[in-house]
Amino acid sequence: MPHTLPGTTIPVDPGQPDAAETVLKPLFLAGGLMLSQVAQLTGLEPYTVQNWVRRGFVSPPVRKRRQFCRIATINLLKDCLQLDKICCLLRYVNGDLDDESDDLIDDAQLYGYVSALTLRMEQGVLPTQSELD
């Protein structure tokens, strides 16, 4: 079974330590993605992404890489947590969605950590306590 970047349909080598960065960086060199591309890369319907923006779960597409990473993170977690619980968790880490100054960690960096951890665990490699810290 081929591995995909967590929360997306993008194929990835699970042994690559910075898979999210390696795959996502080229996608945003030209400025970003259209809604149809985000839908294709996440497996979500376009109206779902629009609904998440409208409900305040995802910021409007100003910082597109950051927005895509937040969408992928929510998509990854939505099978095990309710949307409002996911957004509460993300609000704890990133404060107000519209104010980046209160972020403990950027959505793109958070997604990189979560995807690296998820890919390692899919291979049966559990993180050490120092890696989790």
Task: Please name the residues in contact with 93: beta carbons below 8 A apart, sequence gap of 6 or more.
Answer: 103, 104, 105, 110
What is the tens place of the pLDDT at every residue in 15-73? 887 889 998 999 888 888 999 999 999 999 999 999 999 998 998 877 788 899 999 99
Helix (H, G, I), strand (E, B) or coil at 108: helix
Residue whose entry in the numeric block shows the structure tokens 């998820």: 118
d(CA 50, CA 65): 16
Q: Residue 101: pLDDT band by 50, 70, 90 thresholds?
A: confident
More confident residue, 57 or 97: 57
CA nearest neighbour of 24 among 111, 97, 93, 103: 111
- Does the pLDDT value for residue 74 go beyond 90? yes
